[in-house]
Amino acid sequence: MLQTIFSTDNCWTGFIIRLTLGIVLFPHGAQKMFGWFGGPGFSGEMHHLTQQAGLPAFVAVLVILIEFFAALMLITGTGTRIAAIAVIGLFIGIIWHVHASMGFFMNWFGTMPAGHEGYEYHLLIIGLAIALLFTGSGRFSVDRLIFP
């Protein structure tokens, strides 16, 4: 079973997808975890997710941890399929809980109120994570070192 989860080939596709996804997610996770890149930090994000978004504390902690650690796992290629499943679950939840009611498109022209974005970005993230389930980590990954 571990071989199935961690195995990967030496393809560039998995490498490019996981690095792109990890690099895009990392600043968002770092905002929530440490307050980097102008973010609220862990306590500020917990307050936002529990008080304003109405999530249970356990779910709020999972949101922060997944967004931060899954990004690191993807960048390094460590447990890529596990990280991908976590990201898929997280972003389905984000669409369901927040963005589905706002439509498909992001607020490209600023015509919607601040914070009102559609789910197209989130759907792209899910698509990339699903691709990683099929391809694995690819080149230059810890997964490939452990399970060649």
CA 135, CA 128: separation in Å to the nearest integer?
Answer: 10
Please state the pTM of the whole predicted model.
Answer: 0.92
For residue 61, give the amino acid letter.
V
pLDDT at 34: 98
CB 15 within 8 A of CB 137: yes
Please tell me the total number of residues recorded for the chain in this structure: 148
Across the range 122-144, mean pLDDT stands at 95
Instruction: Kindly list the distances between the CA atom of residue 118 and the CA atoms of 99, 104, 111, in Å, as whole numbers in the listed order.
Output: 5, 4, 12
Q: What is the pLDDT of residues 17-64, one digit of tens each?
A: 999 999 999 999 999 999 999 999 999 999 999 999 999 999 999 999
CB 140 within 8 A of CB 15: yes
The secondary structure of residue 125, as a DSSP letter, is: H
User: What value does the CA radius of gyration of the chain take, rounded to a whole number of Å?
Assistant: 16
**Residue 15, token pair as written in the block:** 């490498």
3-state secondary structure of 117: coil
Helices (H), 56-119: 57-76, 80-94
Residues 6 or more apart in contact with residue 17 via CB below 8 angstroms: 128, 131, 132, 135, 138
CA 141, CA 78: separation in Å to the nearest integer?
Answer: 7
CA 27, CA 35: separation in Å to the nearest integer?
Answer: 10
Q: What is the pLDDT of residues 91-105, one digit of tens each?
A: 999 999 988 888 898
